[in-house]
């Protein structure tokens, strides 16, 4: 099965991370990503720009409205994701627990809807 | 003729009762789906009723599993209209396992039942759903019986079960016993479910019943099953001992009129001595396993000191205080702090205990916990501060939900005001 691992954390806290700590975390992410590529679990993964760059789009009665910011104000914001292949939820949880961001924020694990045939 | 047919019926019934759990657990593994497995088991039992009149098969369990699996494969093949990838996968998995199944090894069935327990108690399910699924699938209670245990309508419980099974399927919750690094953590969740079933039975938090013996019995049976499947585990043994030592006092906890009887006022002659002996044996076994001190075993050791006292005056309160202090180090919680304070009152007096409870109350986490106010009331009453005691009992009454406890508190208030 495929799972989307969504990495949430508090952006304000993240922005205040000292540069040395940030560099260490980035190299941990590189190591982690290499690991899941080698294990054949990696499908995709990216870091997102902060929610200050976000736009929300809605179409109502054929009319497009675009507003500034994310869909909902929450304490933690989506900052990145991995799409992984795992044999079951426990394997996906095991991968999620190794994401460096899990130690400061939280990872939402969502199964991908299998394509209909 | 008639009587021999009845004899077969009784035998068949006995086999169904004994094998239902094992057959379901194995069918779920073979078929990869809870609902399909339940239907398959039902069809296998129906077929057995018809076919076993001529004589029982040599291995009834294997017969039921093979028949159930074959019925399920037939059903999947028949459902061509609804054919989807998922059905194809189930069919492939069911057929792949088809040849493999003539095992008579007990260990295989044990493994399947353990898999089923870990799946039902998976932390990705809400705890209320874990408890409901465990009672339904592992204990084999009817949906109606599970609903009754939790004072919910059958419809609400049925929906809860459907949602839980859907999540197992959709989220890919595995039908597996976790590997050792995860096993300990997951086992804690399983034990919390078992203890949750027990406490729901032992002290229903709402309504008029004080004790629901059926749920207590199911929880203890689950404890024995876990002990059989994961032998010599300190936490499993500790929980089982704790439940037995509480359950031994069940009959004494409630008066004939359904009122609460405090431990100190209980008629010790009605305590179940068989359960006590078994509980004491198990708590010793749990505590003797080195390097695995379980919070359940410490709680059981406390319960053991209570039941070992032939008269309430003989209770070893200093040791109970010490054990609560161990428990507070292992698993700090306001409820344990409160129980510690009650034990301290028996050793150092009500004034010292009142200080402890007031400091707990000042931290504010448990200001709506009725037992905290009830304990304060009791300490104040012992110190002769009756006005304040009355206030505390009234606060307790305003938060207590269970009718027998409410009656008890009203009686306390009346005793002060007379």
In chain B, the number of structural domains is: 2
Identity of the residue in B85, B124, B182 whose CB atom sits nearest the CB atom of A114: B85
The residue with greater pLDDT, B168 or B9, is: B168
- The DSSP code for B99 is T
Distance between terminal CA atoms of chain A?
16
Residue B325 falls within a domain, yes or no?
Answer: yes
Q: What is the mean pLDDT of residues B277-292?
A: 94
Is the minimum CB–CB distance between B329 and chain A shorter than 8 Å? no
Please answer yes or no on whether B172 and A114 come within 8 Å at the CB atom. Answer: no
Half-sphere exposure of A29 (CA within 13 A, CB side): 15
Domain definitions of chain A by residue range: 2-111
Domain boundary among B45, B78, B103: B103
Q: What is the mean pLDDT of residues B214-226?
A: 91
**DSSP calls for B100-146:** T-----HHHHHHHHHHHHHHHT-TTS-HHHHHHHIIIIIS---HHHH
pLDDT given for residue B133 in this prediction: 95
- Length of chain B equals 418
CB B211 within 8 A of CB B199: no
Q: 């001529």: which residue's tokens?
A: B54
pLDDT given for residue B256 in this prediction: 75
- The DSSP code for B177 is P
CA of B84 vs chain A CAs: smallest distance (Å):
7
CATH code for residues A2-111 = 3.30.70.1060
- The C-alpha atoms of residue A44 and residue B225 are separated, in whole angstroms, by 43
Give A-chain residues touching B176 at CB under 8 angstroms.
88, 90
CB B171 within 8 A of CB A93: no
Confidence of residue B1 (pLDDT cuts 50, 70, 90): very low
- The C-alpha atoms of residue B146 and residue B127 are separated, in whole angstroms, by 14
Give A-chain residues touching B124 at CB under 8 angstroms.
89, 93
Q: What part of B 167-186 touches A (C-beta under 8 Å)? A: 170-174, 176, 178, 182
Report the CATH number that the domain containing residue B3 is assigned in CATH. Answer: 1.10.1740
Q: 């006022």: which residue's tokens?
A: B265
pLDDT given for residue B264 in this prediction: 83
pLDDT given for residue A68 in this prediction: 92
Q: Which of B304, B298, B302, B311 is nearest to B276 (CA)?
A: B304
Report the CATH number that the domain containing residue B409 is assigned in CATH. Answer: 1.25.40.10
Domain boundary among B50, B84, B103: B103
Shortest CA distance from B186: residue in chain A: A90
Confidence of residue B63 (pLDDT cuts 50, 70, 90): very high
The rounded mean pLDDT for chain B is 87
Please answer yes or no on whether B124 and A89 come within 8 Å at the CB atom. Answer: yes
Domain boundary among B71, B103, B135: B103
A46: β partners: A81
pLDDT given for residue B206 in this prediction: 47
Which pTM value belongs to this model? 0.81
Q: 């088809």: which residue's tokens?
A: B98
Q: 């043994």: which residue's tokens?
A: B237
Environment class of residue B118 by beta-carbon count within 10 Å: exposed (0-12), middle (13-18) or buried (19+)?
buried
Q: Can you say whether the dihedral through the CA atoms of B329, B334, B335, B338 is positive or negative?
A: positive
Distance between terminal CA atoms of chain B?
72
Residue B265 falls within a domain, yes or no?
Answer: no
- Kindly report, residue by residue over B353-371, the tens digit of the pLDDT: 999 999 999 987 788 889 9
Residue B303 falls within a domain, yes or no?
Answer: no
pLDDT given for residue B227 in this prediction: 94
Please answer yes or no on whether A92 and B178 come within 8 Å at the CB atom. Answer: no
- Kindly report, residue by residue over B157-166, the tens digit of the pLDDT: 999 999 999 9
CB B189 within 8 A of CB B120: no
- Does B300 have pLDDT greater than 50? yes
- Kindly report, residue by residue over B64-119, the tens digit of the pLDDT: 999 999 999 888 877 755 555 555 566 666 565 555 455 556 666 678 889 999 99
- Kindly report, residue by residue over A52-70, the tens digit of the pLDDT: 999 999 999 999 999 998 8
Give A-chain residues touching B82 at CB under 8 angstroms.
none
CA of A7 vs chain B CAs: smallest distance (Å):
18
Three state DSSP letters for chain A: CEEEEEEEECHHHHHCCCHHHHHHHHHHHHHHHHHHHHCCCEEEEEECCCHHHCEEEEEECCEEEEEECCCCCCCCEEEEEEEEECCCHHHHHHHHHHCHHHHCCEEEEEECCCCCC
Residue B15 falls within a domain, yes or no?
Answer: yes
Give B-chain residues touching A114 at CB under 8 angstroms.
85-86
- The C-alpha atoms of residue B9 and residue B119 are separated, in whole angstroms, by 33
- Does B2 have pLDDT greater than 50? no
- Spell A9-46 as b/e; 16+ CB within 10 A means b: bebeebeeeeeeeeeebeeebeebeeebeeeebbeebe
Under DSSP, is residue B337 helix (H, G, I), strand (E, B) or coil?
helix
Under DSSP, is residue B322 helix (H, G, I), strand (E, B) or coil?
helix
ipTM at complex level: 0.86
Give A-chain residues touching B185 at CB under 8 angstroms.
none
pLDDT given for residue B107 in this prediction: 67
Residue B331 falls within a domain, yes or no?
Answer: yes
CB B237 within 8 A of CB B297: yes
CB B241 within 8 A of CB B297: yes
CA of B186 vs chain A CAs: smallest distance (Å):
11
CB B307 within 8 A of CB B249: yes
Q: Which of B88, B122, B170, B172 should be substituted to probe chain A, the one whose Cβ sees the most A Cβ atoms within 10 Å?
A: B172
Q: Which of A18, A15, A5 is nearest to A78 (CA)?
A: A5
Query: What residues make up the domain containing B360?
Result: 320-418
Torsion of CA B173, B179, B185, B186, to 10 degrees: 40
């Amino acid at each position: 099965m495929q799972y989307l691992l969504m990495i949430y954390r508090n952006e304000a806290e993240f922005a205040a991370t000292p540069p040395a700590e940030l560099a260490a975390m980035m190299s941990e992410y590189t190591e982690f990503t290499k690991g899941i590529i080698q294990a054949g679990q990696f499908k995709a993964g990216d870091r997102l720009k902060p929610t200050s760059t976000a736009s929300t789009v809605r179409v109502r009665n054929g009319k497009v409205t675009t507003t500034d910011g994310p869909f909902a104000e929450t304490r933690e914001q989506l900052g990145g994701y991995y799409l992984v292949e795992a044999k079951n939820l426990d394997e996906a949880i095991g991968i999620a627990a190794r994401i460096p961001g899990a130690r400061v924020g939280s990872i939402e694990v969502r199964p991908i809807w299998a394509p209909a045939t | 003729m008639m009587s021999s047919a009845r004899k077969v019926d009784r035998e068949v019934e006995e086999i169904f009762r004994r094998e239902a759990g094992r057959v379901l657990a194995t069918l779920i593994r073979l078929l990869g789906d809870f609902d399909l497995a339940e239907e398959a088991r039902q069809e296998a039992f129906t077929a057995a009723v018809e076919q076993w009149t001529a004589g029982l098969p040599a291995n009834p369990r294997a017969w039921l599993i093979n028949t159930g699996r074959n019925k399920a494969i037939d059903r999947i093949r028949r459902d061509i209209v609804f054919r989807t990838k998922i059905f194809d996968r189930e069919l492939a998995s069911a057929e792949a396992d088809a040849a493999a199944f003539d095992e008579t090894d007990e260990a295989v069935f044990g493994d399947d039942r353990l898999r089923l327990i870990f799946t039902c108690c998976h932390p990705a399910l809400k705890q209320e759903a874990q408890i409901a699924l465990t009672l339904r699938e592992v204990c084999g209670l009817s949906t109606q019986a599970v609903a009754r245990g939790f004072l919910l309508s059958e419809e609400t419980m049925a929906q809860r079960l459907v949602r839980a099974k859907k999540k197992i399927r959709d989220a890919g919750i595995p039908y597996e016993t976790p590997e050792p690094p995860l096993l300990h953590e997951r086992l804690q969740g399983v034990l919390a479910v078992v203890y949750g079933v027990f406490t729901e039975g032992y002290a229903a938090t709402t309504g008029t019943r004080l004790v629901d013996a059926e749920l207590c019995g199911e929880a203890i049976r689950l404890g024995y099953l876990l002990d059989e499947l994961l032998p010599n585990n300190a936490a499993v043994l500790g929980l089982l001992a704790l439940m037995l030592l509480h359950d031994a006092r069940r009959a004494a906890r409630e008066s004939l009129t359904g009122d609460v009887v405090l431990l100190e006022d209980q008629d010790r002659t009605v305590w179940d001595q068989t359960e006590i002996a078994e509980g004491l044996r198990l708590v010793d076994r749990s505590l003797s396993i080195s390097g695995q001190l379980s919070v359940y075993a410490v709680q059981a050791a406390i319960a053991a000191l209570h039941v070992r006292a032939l008269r309430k005056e003989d209770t070893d309160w200093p040791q109970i205080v010490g054990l609560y202090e161990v428990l507070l180090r292992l698993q700090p919680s306001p409820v344990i702090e409160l129980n510690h304070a009650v034990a301290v009152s028996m050793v150092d007096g009500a004034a010292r205990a009142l200080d402890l409870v007031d400091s707990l109350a000042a931290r504010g986490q448990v200001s709506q916990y009725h037992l905290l106010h009830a304990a304060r009331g009791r300490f104040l009453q012992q110190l002769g501060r009756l006005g304040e005691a009355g206030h505390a009992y009234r606060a307790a009454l305003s938060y207590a939900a269970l009718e027998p406890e409410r009656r008890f508190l009203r009686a306390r208030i009346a005793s002060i005001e007379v």
